[in-house]
Amino acid sequence: MTLPYVLTLVANRENGTLPTAVIDVARNMVKGAKPNILSPGEAVDIPCPAPGAGSPSAATLRASFARHQVDALLLKSRGRRKAVLVADMDSTILKNETLDDLADLLGCGDEVRRITEASMNGEMDFDAALQARVALLKGKNADTLKKVLEKLVIQDGAKTLVQTMKAHNARTALVSGGFTYFTHHVAAACGFDEHHGNELAIRNGVLTGELAAPILGPNAKLQHLERLAAERGVKLGATLTTGDGANDLPMLRAAGLGIAYHAKPHVREEIVTQVNHAGLRAHLFAQGYPAQAFVS
């Protein structure tokens, strides 16, 4: 009989492997069955009973293996593979924070970064923070956008995540509070079905300090998730979202599997399922995909 839950362990493969001793300890903690190896030395599934009185919490499991740089994700066994993926861009699919990088090149990086940090930690309203940061770019040369584009670094595993889910008939979208100038290129590079972001206003090759369209913020991310699920003909329980900042919280809360990915403290306080050590491949392991099923 299939057990109702599974504990997925994923190691940071750049810094080491998943120790057998960690697997054994985890199995004992959750009273689990024989582990299923998803990727040797990187990821395993441990089928286990539903959490009950005296069972370790998700927070306890995370803390138990953090020193090994191993993520522990306690998930229901049913419906693991998702039909919709909605991903944040900055510091999620990308290693970069594109607005901060742009501001650095334009000489206002420190001030913009301070506002970004406050917004991502939930200390400042997203719309107000975005407008304040964009206003600091007024009068700057729009050609600088090309320089930022040249320095973008896509996270390891991003293309694999998108392509594997698409190969299994999922709909994928990159939805960012950043700018369409970047989402267009990143979505194409990874293979997302669609992309959405904010649009910078440019006049005569100069940034106006304004946005050219209504702001895409936290509620818009949620609305795109709901729309995609409806178009795909599935409930929100069959969706996966991932992000790191406060503006991702509505879509992270609503999805069947919302993953706080290397997230800000405010986000980690609210979202139970977290990837704090491993890369984006963990999102596939969380759905039960073995490495040999990955599409790159």
Residue 16 pLDDT class (50, 70, 90 cuts): confident
Q: Span 186-192, mean pLDDT?
A: 98
Q: Top-level CATH class of 1-78?
A: alpha beta
Same fold, 1-78 and 80-296: no
Token pair 């090994």 is at which residue? 68
pLDDT band at 249 (very low <50, low <70, confident <90, very high): very high
Contact 268, 248 (CB under 8 A): no
Locus of tokens 């009068």: 139
For residue 2, pLDDT over 90 is answered with no
The predicted model gives 226-231 an average pLDDT of: 98
Q: What is the pTM of this model?
A: 0.96
- Residue 209 pLDDT > 90, yes or no? yes
Residue 26: closest CA among 1, 63, 54, 53: 63
Q: How far is CA 65 from the centre of its chain?
A: 21
- Domain ranges in the chain are 1-78, 80-296
Q: For 92, how many CA atoms within 13 A lie in the half-sphere containing its CB? A: 30
Residue 57 class from Cβ within 10 Å (0-12 exposed, 13-18 middle, 19+ buried)? exposed
**Rounded distance, CA 85 to CA 95, Å?**
19
Residues labelled catalytic: 88, 90
Q: What percent of the chain has pLDDT over 90?
A: 95
Domain boundaries 80-296, corresponding CATH code: 3.40.50.1000
pLDDT given at position 295: 97
CA neighbours closer than 13 Å in the CB half-sphere of residue 211? 20
Q: For residues 289 and 57, give the distance between their C-alpha atoms in angstroms, rounded to a whole number.
A: 24
* 3-class DSSP assignment, residue 270: helix
Q: How far apart are CA 249 and CA 121, in angstroms?
A: 11
Say if residues 172 and 162 touch (Cβ distance below 8 Å). yes
Q: What pLDDT is attached to residue 236?
A: 98
Q: How confident is the model at residue 55 (pLDDT cuts 50, 70, 90)?
A: very high
Side chain identity, residue 35: P
Percentage of residues in the chain having pLDDT higher than 70: 100
Q: Tens digits of per-residue pLDDT, 190-204?
A: 999 999 999 999 999
| pLDDT, averaged across the chain | 96
User: pLDDT confidence of 98, banded at 50, 70, 90?
Assistant: very high
Assess whether pLDDT exceeds 70 at residue 268.
yes
Q: What does the pLDDT average to over 148-176?
A: 98
Q: How far apart are CA 82 and CA 13, in angstroms?
A: 24
The whole-number pLDDT of residue 66 equals 96
The residues that bridge with 154 in the sheet, in sequence order, are 94
pLDDT band with cut points at 50, 70 and 90 for residue 1? low
